[in-house]
Amino acid sequence: MEQTVSPGLGKALLINVGLLAVVCLFLLFLALFGISDSWICFLFLWYYASVKQARPESWLPTVCGTLFGFALSGLLIWLPAMLGNMVGFSVFLALIFVVVLLQVMGRFGTFINEVAFLFLTIGCIPAVQSEQRFGAHLLALIVGIVFWSALIELFRRLTPRGSPQQ
């Protein structure tokens, strides 16, 4: 069992200042483009960086699952609006049934995975749905995916291979 060494106070402060600077630059970047929904970008970052440890092999399923799950949540607004409440909600539940069935069967794992259900759940929260800002949330999510993925990849390329992670 490999033990990791925690950084000392000086290194921890340096890391935190660096992280704060990156987050501030990201928020400035969003503001320049008029994107105010930063929460969804940070949710993607948290999942990919923390849960998946930013592993390169996890990137594609994380991105596809994120977009699929959030897009699916948008149908909870669109289907009832297009088909009426009862029919639209019934069609939405039928789609969820099929997606869960495919998950249980292990099909389409690149799209139907844990992060898909996370973003489906978040997208279906009444407070998120009531904002009626699906397009704005989706745009923010795509911008966040591109930004954080590029930054993580840049960091990965600039970090010497085989260096100890502390």
Q: Answer whether residue 107 is part of any domain.
A: yes
Counting the structural domains of the chain, the total is 1
Please, are residues 72 and 122 in contact by the beta-carbon 8 Å criterion?
A: no
- Cα 79 from Cα 82, distance rounded (Å): 5
pTM for this predicted structure: 0.86
Q: Answer whether residue 19 is part of any domain.
A: no
Neighbours of 79 (CB within 10 A): 20
pLDDT, tens only, 123-153: 999 988 888 889 999 999 999 999 999 999 9
pLDDT, tens only, 58-113: 999 999 999 999 999 999 999 999 999 999 999 999 999 999 999 999 999 999 99
Q: Answer whether residue 4 is part of any domain.
A: no
- Cα 87 from Cα 49, distance rounded (Å): 39
Q: What is the pLDDT of residue 166?
A: 44
Q: Answer whether residue 74 is part of any domain.
A: yes
Residue 4 φ/ψ region, left for φ over 0, alpha for ψ in the -120 to 50 degree band, beta for the rest: beta
Q: Answer whether residue 8 is part of any domain.
A: no
For 153, the domain range is 35-158
Please, are residues 121 and 65 in contact by the beta-carbon 8 Å criterion?
A: no
- Kindly state the DSSP code that residue 112 receives in the 8-state scheme: S
Q: Answer whether residue 151 is part of any domain.
A: yes
Q: Answer whether residue 130 is part of any domain.
A: yes
Q: Answer whether residue 10 is part of any domain.
A: no
